[in-house]
Structure 1
Amino acid sequence: WSECYDDIEEGDLPEHKRSPPPVDFSKVDASKPEELLKMSKKGRTLMVFATVSGNPTEKETEEITGLWQGSLFNANYDIQRFVVGSNRVIFMLRDGSLAWEVKDFLVAQERCVDVTVEGQVFPGKAAKKDNAKNKQQNEVNAKKKSKKKAESKNPDLEGNSASHLKQEL
Structure 2
Amino acid sequence: MTSTYDDIEEGDLPEHRRSPPPVDFSKVDPSKPEDLLKMSKKGRTLMVFATVSGNPSEKETEEITGLWQGSLFNANYDVQRFVVGSNRVIFMLRDGSLAWEVKDFLVAQQRCADVTVEGQVFPGSMAKKDKAKETQQNEVNIKKKGRKTDGKTEVVNGNHASNLKQEL
Same fold per TM (> 0.5)? yes
TM bracket, shorter-chain basis: 0.7 to 0.9
Cα distance, 1:42 vs. partner?
Answer: 0.2
Q: Residues of 1 paired with 2:38 and 2:146: CA distance?
A: 48
Superposition map of 1:26-105 within 5 A: 26-105=26-105
Q: 1:76 to 1:2 in 2, by over 3 A?
A: farther
Pairwise CA distance, 1:114 = 1.0
- CA RMSD after TM alignment: 2.2
Q: CA deviation at 1:2?
A: 6.9
Q: TM-score if structure 2 supplies the norm length?
A: 0.84
> Is it true that 1:11 corresponds to 2:18 in the alignment?
no
Aligned length: 154
Displacement of 1:13 in angstroms is: 1.1
- SS of residue paired to 1:7: coil
Structure 1 alignment gaps of length 5 or more: 156-169
The structure in which a higher percent of residues are strand is 2
| Alignment TM-score, normalising by the size of structure 1 | 0.83
More helix per residue: 1
Is 1:150 aligned to 2:157, yes or no?
yes
Taking the aligned partners of 2:46 and 2:146, their CA distance within structure 1 comes to 46
Q: 1:66 to 1:7 in 2, by over 3 A?
A: same
- Which range moved further: 119-128 or 57-66? 119-128
Moved over 4 A (4+): none
CA distance 1:2–1:136, change in 2 (3 Å): farther
Q: Which has the larger radius of gyration?
A: 1
* 1:131 counterpart letter in structure 2: K
Structure 2 gaps, min length 5: 149-154, 162-168
Q: Percent identity?
A: 84
